[in-house]
Chains A and B, each alone.
Chain A
Amino acid sequence: MPSSPTFTATIEKIIERTPDTRSFFLRVANGRKLSFVPGQFLSFLLPAGGETLTRAYTIASLPGEEDCFEICLNQVDGGPGSSYLFSRKEADVLCFTGPWGNFVLDQPTDAEYIFIADRVGVVPFRPMIARLLTAGGHHTARLLYAAPQAGDLLYTDEWQRWEGQYAYFSFRPLIAECEPEEYSIEKGLLPYVEQHFVKGVRQYSRRFYICGIGRPVLLLRDLLRGAGYERQAVKYEKW
């Protein structure tokens, strides 16, 4: 068991966002509020298969949503952690530690912020972009969001609303138009990044935040760092 303080929370609501992705809205026991920095995750202790699994899930809530917070995750084939959570129902109780993680915004600068999300990797960007847009200073931010199908995109209404509301925020969905098993970042995201941020690039002041699943995140990291962006300007979280 972890040595860190453990909290319990009750599942208040479950929303199916796509056929394999759900949001769980959790309320911490004893009226405690969850104080977090956008981009952080919680570490859940899940009693599955006769043992306690440690599984991290990113906080999807917007800053200020501290009473009842949201985690959003996809079901992984054969994954005991997500399978356990997907079999939970409202009023069930979960244990967790945290929040944890350093995949958070730096002190805002005048640099352009490029958020690159691969599928469910978009989750940390919801609170991060919200924080950036409301921080003052009119920081230019772009969200590049890749998925196999348009129906796989999460929080689309919100991205579009923010794009209309904030002139300095733009949302670029990159749909591969393929089945999930045929999907790869080569079918849209990687060439887009290469074309717009690598080829012929002359200014290196941008700040990149990349989040996704597995090796594609490292491919994007290597592409950008290899193009000359500073190591600290290319942050990433790989799940």
Chain B
Amino acid sequence: MAKLHISFENGNPEQVVEFDPSQAPFHHDGEPGSILDILLGHGVELEHACGGNCACTTCHVIVTQGMAHLTENEEEEDDMLDKAPGLVSTSRLGCQAVMAEGEVKIRIPRHTINQQV
């Protein structure tokens, strides 16, 4: 079993999801086995305005531990992350970062948006 810890900058209580990576996909949005897929499939909401297609940054998460357990960024994700508010060196898009093992901790930024104009 793998374990994903989620903390929220908006003060919501921390959550932990334990899952069997071989059972992915858990939902229908984002890459199968991605952080977005895992969260939605276990009842944890994460904004994903584009439907998990790497066309926005609303599923931006900050990885605080276990980056090595996630697939590496592809150019498409990097291009999109450039536009994310509050970008840090461990930022990832939840719809693209696939977790296949181990223990990862993420923080959901208070402002996952705002691309609205």
Contact = CB atoms under 8 A, between A and B. Distances in A.
Contacts of A56: 49-51, 53, 55-56
Contacts of A237: 55
Interface residues of A, number: 29
Contacts of A102: 56-57, 80, 83, 115
B45 A100 contact: no
Nearest to B55: A237
Interface string B78-117: 0110010000000000000000000000000000010111
Given A2-B47, A54-B48, A100 B116 contact: yes
A151 B8 CA distance: 50
A238 B80 CA distance: 11
Contact of B45 (A1, A35, A37, A43): A1
A100 B54 contact: no
Chain B contact surface mostly: loop
Contact of A239 (B47, B53, B58, B79): B53
A238 B55 contact: yes
A35 B29 contact: no
Nearest to A1: B45
Nearest to B54: A238
A41 interface: yes
Interface of A: 1-4, 35-37, 40-41, 43, 53-56, 81, 97-103, 218, 221, 231, 236-239
22 contacts: A2-B49, A3-B47, A37-B117, A54-B48, A54-B49, A54-B51, A55-B51, A56-B49, A56-B51, A56-B55, A56-B56, A81-B51, A98-B116, A99-B115, A100-B50, A100-B56, A100-B58, A100-B113, A100-B115, A101-B55, A102-B80, A103-B55
Interface of B: 28-29, 45, 47-58, 75-76, 79-80, 83, 113, 115-117
